[in-house]
Amino acid sequence: MGSTKLFVTLCVLPLLASSFCSAQLSANFYASSCPNLQTIVRNAMTTAVNGQPRLGASILRLFFHDCFVNGCDGSILLDDTATFTGEKNANPNRNSARGFEVIDTIKTRVEAACNATVSCADILALSARDGVVLLGGPSWTVPLGRRDARTASQSLSASDMTALSGGHTIGFARCTTFRNRIYNDTNINAAFATTRRAGCPASGGDARLAPLDNTQTRFDNNYYTNLVAQRGLLHSDQELFNGGSQDALVRSYSTNGATFARDFAAAMVRMGNISPLTGRNGEIRRNCRAVN
């Protein structure tokens, strides 16, 4: 589908306008205070993804999980302490959330260039975008100006969620997350189930990995092609194409990668503007793993 740059207008959906438009985010927020920010992030992400393509998917997943818990505020990055339990070890993230060291590296470089200026939340938002682009996906303009939470929401439309689920076109899943599907679901291609059972036994082997689609290091629309063929790896993914309201959209994305790229980019901007901390709220962390 290429990586054509897409410029997405904020507040596209009227029902989301009241919560999104009140946030004082701007693509040019750091133009004066940290003019090399985007170059620093892109260079670090290029090194990381070239070394391990899976990291593009990992950081995109971090951004998803950050935004869906109290908004995009960098709280997913906080380490647990004796008095604070964060999101890293919550059930959806334990033993699967990764890429934190990449964000640490970027934060260190950003701090060296513009001390106490750029939030970890914004670094994560930019890194997620760049990871997608580096794997062949679409680009979008990232609104900036978020601040970081000191502690560890809004909802998106069903069509947004279907588009964002396409993020599973890159990366891997652990056996424990898809075992029930390949052994018990009926809406699954028999040959596909057999192939996946070979690498994921009925018991044990929880940490074994399988690709989320057959082009796991390239951002494309094969995820949706697989769903139409009943080859979705996760039960939750296949539910998007299972006789329900999203079937037509999934089928459309499966045959039109450009439409998926456009809708994914737009949904990423809308998700990135869920309840951001701005102004005097929150803080600018110097270390993404700990509050100041």
Q: Which stretches of the chain are DSSP H helices?
A: 14-20, 37-51, 54-67, 100-113, 120-134, 158-165, 175-184, 190-199, 222-228, 235-238, 247-255, 257-272
Q: CA-CA distance, 268 to 140, in Å (whole number)?
A: 8
The CA-based angle 198-199-205, given to 5 degrees, is 125
235 is an annotated ligand-binding site residue: no
The CA distance from 233 to 235, in Å, is 7
> 71 labelled as ligand-binding?
yes
Residue 168 marked ligand-binding: yes
| 176 Cα distance to chain centroid | 21
Active-site residue (options: 54, 61, 65, 146): 65
Q: Please tell me the distance from the alpha carbon of residue 168 to that of residue 33, in angstroms, as a whole number.
A: 35
Is 65 annotated as catalytic? Answer: yes
- Is residue 83 part of an annotated ligand binding site? no
CA dihedral 79, 82, 84, 90 (to 10 degrees): 60
| 169 assigned binding-site residue | yes
Find out whether 220 is annotated in a ligand binding site. Answer: yes
Q: Is residue 49 marked as binding?
A: no
Using CA atoms, how far apart are residues 232 and 21, in angstroms rounded to an integer?
36
73 is in an annotated binding site: yes
Report yes or no: 72 and 272 within 8 Å, Cβ to Cβ.
yes
Phi, psi (rounded to 5 degrees) for 7: -100, 115
Q: How far apart are the first and last CA of the chain?
A: 42
213 is in an annotated binding site: yes
Q: Which residues contact 234 (CB under 8 A, 6 or more apart)?
A: 168, 173, 177, 178, 181, 212
C-alpha span between 216 and 117 (Å, rounded):
35
CA 1 to chain centre: 19
In the chain, how many H helices and how many E strands?
Answer: 12, 4
Q: Which residues are catalytic?
A: 65
Known binding-site residues for heme b equal 168
Known binding-site residues equal 66, 69, 71, 73, 75, 87, 168-169, 213, 215, 220
